[in-house]
Amino acid sequence: MNKKKFFLSLFIVLIILVVLQVPNYIRYQFDKNFGDPHTFFYGVGIGVLLETNNYYEEEIDLDDQNKVSINVSQYKKRKADLYIYGEYINSAEPLVVVLNDNVIYNDKAENESANFYSRYYFKKHFVVKLSEAVKDGENKLVISTGKATKSYELYIN
């Protein structure tokens, strides 16, 4: 009976570790220390959300460009908020978003399930509000996590 309890307990602990992606964190630490975890961003964009809508009124894809112009003056009748959103692969480090040399976000992103044996063993997504720190004119936006960094120049009018 004692052996059965031991193996049942061990089985439950292993299931909990897999659900919490502990083996993926161990793999990331190994890759970070002895190789390259191949961290990158994808699906990055900026969305304009109006206060009365539950969807982005305008979306700008940043995957293929790093300089964009956003005309928020057309939404003067309603309050418009700017958000940056996207996903990144293979990083257990916190996401850092810097706008005009001010850190506006430094925290973990939301996990998505990923396979330990896959090339992409960590998948995370994020949405960060930019409206409090953005100003009219030129803005410099930098997002980074682990060894991946992306820089963007935003012109807001």
Which residues contact residue 15 at a Cβ distance below 8 angstroms, ignoring those fewer than 6 apart?
Answer: none
Distance CA 98, CA 95 (A): 10
- Whole-model pTM: value is 0.79
Encode the chain (157 residues) as per-residue pLDDT tens digits. 688 888 888 888 888 877 777 777 777 777 777 767 788 999 999 999 988 788 888 899 999 899 999 988 887 777 888 999 999 988 888 999 999 999 999 998 888 776 766 777 778 899 999 988 888 899 999 999 988 999 999 999 8
How many Cβ atoms sit within 10 Å of the Cβ of residue 89?
21
Q: Which helix (H) or strand (E) holds 62?
A: none
Tell me the two tokens of residue 76: 């003067």
